[in-house]
Structure 1
Amino acid sequence: MEYSAGDIAAAWSLKTYTYIYTSAATFWTYDYACSLHQELTFLIQSRWTKVKGLYILTRYMPFLLFVGHLYLNFIPDDNPDKCQMINNICSCFSLISVICSECFFIIRTYALWNNNKFVLAAMLTAFLAVVVASVGVLFTATANAPFETSTISGITGCYQSAGSDELFVPFILLFALELGLISLTLVRAIQSWRTARYPLYDVLLKHNIFYYACGLFFSMVNVLTSLLLQYAYNGMLQDFQLIILAILATRMHLHLWHVDRQIHGSDALMHIPLTDVSSIGHTG
């Protein structure tokens, strides 16, 4: 049986999409195994706080995302409506994951600014606007672009062949949000570079800048792939970005917690109330 060039291109895009998700799942599992000892120490010895709950949600939401997408990619299914339903569920997991990851660094930026209420209000307003706009665009674009399955036997998974160009909008909004947050971090670093000599303060600055730099890079990559590529290629790195951000957020929180333990010794509070970190690195 002969297939059109479009059918072959769609099949290759689905295979590439599946390879990327499998690689991402492997990477997440490897990262989890490498940090298991540190994570168990944190979960057992730290006190239960809202930040700890946020950590758990951020850490394990990608697991649900992987289960949904790997099922979608590997289980043979010729029902596009079912594909759309599962994809919508995975989109919810993606949104929760990125919201949790960004919340970590909004709290950290708030701490760097010595709990400045004006800065917090500005960040939360921008963050809520990005979330609401992204939800609207994401589900509208999905509804307007039905899913298709490959006509080639043995190729599993679903893709949106057209009409999903709007999916670049959430990443533009995320790019703008993180550009604003990294600007706040850099302004704070410039203001206090001579006076701040606290280990936790330095850790916060380095973590924030690295996290936002990664977010900006992946957001721009996803904007380009959404606009320039077709079939499953245009969404192949979207969830990969969210998974990387979740890993960075949780890894950095573990590191910050262990640094705090080393500074304060065995009599430390055994948890990091991030909104109080500014009291450690207060610059006056």
Structure 2
Amino acid sequence: MQVEYSANNVAAARSLQVYTYLYTSMATFWIYDYACSLHQEWTFLLLSRWSKVKGLYIIARYAPFVLLAGHLYMNFIPNENSDKCQLLNNICSCFSLISVSCSECFFVLRTCALWNNNRIVFVTVVVTFLAVVVSSIGFAFATTANAPWTTSAIPGITGCYQSSAVVQLFIPFLLLIGLEFGLVSLTLIRAIQSWRSSNSHVYTVLVKHNIFYYACGLFFSGVNVLTLLLFHYGYQAMFQDFQFIVLAILATRMHLHLWHTDRYTHSSNALVFIPLSDISSAGSPI
């Protein structure tokens, strides 16, 4: 006996399938990236001195493993309990926020380093960053707490989604756009001020990294705002963690590159690493 399903049920089922494919692709990409950078990463972890930035690196690098594992479990394991979906989503959301916050921290500290840790710039950037983080956490959990979770009515389709739209989730991405636009503006202003006086290769790498990272962040934040406003079912959230994964890869890869660039620049003394590698201790002109 053939059972007919409504157009909404079919659309929801397709969105869950796309959502599952996307997270599977992300997990594959993350593992591939980790395998490709394994030698560089362990060289950094074993030879670099312990600092707050190294701690940020470890959190930013390994939090996505838990994030992806949680989403893959939620997407592949048959589950008819909406409360369990809510719990799993809250856990994944926590690791998403931890991951993106650590990734952004790298570039907040890099921007401050470009400005030689100018007190006014440092206080302004840090206060703005903390305000964005706290506001984003509030909006994220307030808007999803009351939105009911449901599973597909079509047998064989696993995963769950929020049945009502949560378009208010675009607000954290707007806040992130504002933060990154401010940081990229500070980077460009500093680069214009110093482009004649600075011959440092590390300085050039730092500026290029900052601008490329912010450009990617602004692009993906814009995509997420549009996705949340225009789509429904599982499509709404399909690029949120994709953005956080990409930013985590960029932040950790760029930090590894900066550290190794600095290390080879000062190869005459194998035990010396310039302050930019640890960013937080950069207090002199670059």
TM-score scaled by structure 1?
A: 0.97
SS of the counterpart of 1:148?
Answer: strand
> Which residue matches 2:204?
202
1:109-120 to structure 2, matched below 5 A, reads 109-120=111-122
Output aligned runs, 1:18-97, within 5 Å.
18-97=20-99
Deviations 1:193-249 (A, max 9, x none): 111110111111000000000000000000000000000001000000000000000
Whether 1:267 aligns to 2:263 is no
Stretches (4+) displaced over 4 A: none
2:236 to 234, 238, 241: 234
Q: Could you tell me the TM-score, scaled by structure 2's length? A: 0.96
Question: For 1:247 and 1:216, how far apart are their aligned partners in 2?
Answer: 16
C-alpha contact (below 8 Å) 1:113/1:278 kept by paired residues: no
Report if aligned partners of 2:109, 2:280 keep a CA contact under 8 Å in 1: yes
Determine helix, strand or coil for the equivalent of 1:196: coil
Partner residue of 2:245 out of 243, 246, 254: 243
Please, which moves more after superposition, 139-148 or 89-98? 139-148
CA RMSD across the alignment = 1.1
Q: How far apart are 1:11 and its partner, in Å?
A: 0.2
CA contact (8 A) 1:113 1:188 kept: yes
Instruction: Please tell me whether the aligned partners of residues 200 and 280 of structure 1 are also in contact (alpha carbons under 8 angstroms).
Output: no
In the aligned structure 1, how far is the partner of 2:158 from the partner of 2:143?
A: 23
Give the Cα separation in 2 of the matches to 1:261 and 1:128: 32
**Cross-structure match for 1:225:** 227
- Match for residue 279 of structure 1 among 262, 267, 284: 284
- Pairing 1:142-161 to 2, within 5 Å after superposition: 142-161=144-163
CA distance in 1, matches of 2:167, 2:207: 35
Unaligned runs of 5+ in 1: none
Cross-structure match for 2:259? 257
In 1, the alpha carbon distance for the partners of 2:211 and 2:68 equals 28
SS at structure 2 position matched to 1:2 = coil
- Equivalent residue, structure 1, for 2:174: 172
Offset of 1:44 from its aligned partner? 1.0
**Cα distance, 1:270 vs structure 2:** 4.5
Identity percentage over the alignment? 65
Q: Which runs of structure 2 are paired with 1:92-107 in the superposition (5 Å)?
A: 92-107=94-109
Residues 117 and 282 of structure 2 are in contact (CA less than 8 Å); yes or no, is this contact kept in structure 1?
no
Match of 1:189 in 2: 191
Distance in 2, matches of 1:269 and 1:25, equals 36
- Cα distance change, pair 144–96 in 1 and its aligned pair in 2 (3 A): same
- Counting matched residue pairs gives 281
